Structure 1
Amino acid sequence: MSTHKANLTGFSPRKLAAAAGQPAKDPWARNEAWRYSGPFTRGNRFRGAFPGFGIAVVAFAGYMVYEQVFLTSAHDTHGAAAEHH
């Protein structure tokens, strides 16, 4: 026995979709166009999501460079010569 059930109504959604095809013109295309243009594009929506993030990254990187260059001491080494604790 097969697991395929007989279609009692004869209706097939796949045949209906194939017969209908694609519409010649989307009637709502003009009404939906504003979502994908101007200030609502994907890039513009996320541009203001994290205000000040770029400045914070530059400031943090600058501080890390400052700390590595000016704030390291000879006592902070963890080599074999520094066995005292």
Structure 2
Amino acid sequence: MSTRKANLTGFNAQKFAAAAGQPSRDPWARNEAWRYTGPFTRGNRFRGAFPGFGIAVVAFAGYMVYEQVFLTSSHDAHGAAAEHH
């Protein structure tokens, strides 16, 4: 005599759990593929987050060079010994 009761409904919980696991193929993969290609890649999204940043860096560097070369103070020509205010 078996200690296990007969299942009258035919429902097997182990088979149900195995069948309800992860699907073998994602049905939405084709619809989500656009997020990872072309202009929507991680690198392109990061570049788009700071528009004009490259131009701003070049302009700032150019201004710094201009300031150091052409906008020198006349006090620098006297040297450190001549201190007058």
Between the aligned residues of both structures, percent identity stands at 92
Where in structure 2 are the equivalents of 1:2-81 lying within 5 Å?
22-76=22-76, 81=81
Higher-Rg structure is: 2
Letter in 2 for 1:58: V
TM-score, structure 2 normalization: 0.55
Ranges in structure 2 where 5+ consecutive residues have no aligned partner? 1-17
Deviations 1:23-79, CA, capped at 9 Å, x for gaps: 3222211111111112211222233333332122111101111111121124158x8
CA RMSD of aligned residues (A): 3.0
The aligned amino acid for 1:75 is H
Partners of 1:64 and 1:80 lie apart in 2 by 24
State the distance in 2 between where 1:82 and 1:67 align. 24
Aligned residues: 67
Give unpaired runs (5+ residues) of structure 1.
1-18
Q: Find the aligned partners of 2:50 and 2:81 in 1 and give their Cα distance.
A: 46
**Residue in 2 that maps onto 1:12:** none
